[in-house]
């Protein structure tokens, strides 16, 4: 069978993907996750006297913690199966990925299983995040010193 006829047969047999439906589910899932994050941010501002600027760090930490708890209880997997990329894009996807690696390798022990495999994912994310923040800050500082932008 030549490659063209093979591909035609595969196209006929393969189920059609509901792309628009999947995009809508991802959009709604990501939107709900972000709305919960915004609600948590408002709670920090209202009850704990954070400003809009200072509430972001505890909000992110809370969202990561919640996603880790939901992953541990098997709930985040169901959210991910429904929402697809909508559950992976927000910061909660990072928490889910870190804890999933830890849970998957817990039989190898706490140090070589859980610890090592958690930081296989978290390490590069933290390094690239820190380096990116440094580069952006350096560029901004140079532009301020040159008078191109003002602080």
Per-residue pLDDT of the chain (151 residues; tens, 9 = 90+): 788 888 888 888 888 889 999 999 999 999 999 999 999 999 999 999 999 999 999 999 999 999 999 999 999 999 999 999 999 877 888 888 888 888 887 788 877 777 777 777 777 878 888 899 999 999 999 999 998 988 7
Give me the pLDDT at residue 141, please: 94
Q: Alpha carbon of 53 to those of 22, 45, 62, 133, 151: distances in Å?
A: 34, 10, 16, 17, 16
pTM listed for this prediction: 0.72
Give me the pLDDT at residue 69, please: 94
Q: What does the alpha-carbon distance between residue 79 and residue 88 come to, in Å, rounded to a whole number? A: 10
CA atoms within 13 A on the CB side of 62: 16
> Is the C-alpha dihedral spanning 125, 130, 135, 139 positive or negative?
positive
Give me the pLDDT at residue 16, please: 86
Alpha helix segments (H runs only) across the chain:
3-13, 19-47, 56-72, 75-83, 85-88, 91-104, 116-146
């Amino acid at each position: 069978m030549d490659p063209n006829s093979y591909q035609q047969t595969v196209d006929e047999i393969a189920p059609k993907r509901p792309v628009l439906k999947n995009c809508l589910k991802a959009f709604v899932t990501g939107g709900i996750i972000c709305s919960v994050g915004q609600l948590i941010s408002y709670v920090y501002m209202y009850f704990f006297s954070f400003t809009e600027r200072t509430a972001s760090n505890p909000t992110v930490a809370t969202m990561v913690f919640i996603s880790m708890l939901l992953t541990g209880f098997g709930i985040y997997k169901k959210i991910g199966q429904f929402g697809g990329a909508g559950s992976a894009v927000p910061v909660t996807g990072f928490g889910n990925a870190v804890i999933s690696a830890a849970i998957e390798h817990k039989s190898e022990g706490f140090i070589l299983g859980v610890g090592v495999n958690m930081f296989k994912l978290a390490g590069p994310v933290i390094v690239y995040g820190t380096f990116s923040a440094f580069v952006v800050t350096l560029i901004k500082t140079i532009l301020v010193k040159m008078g191109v932008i003002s602080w």
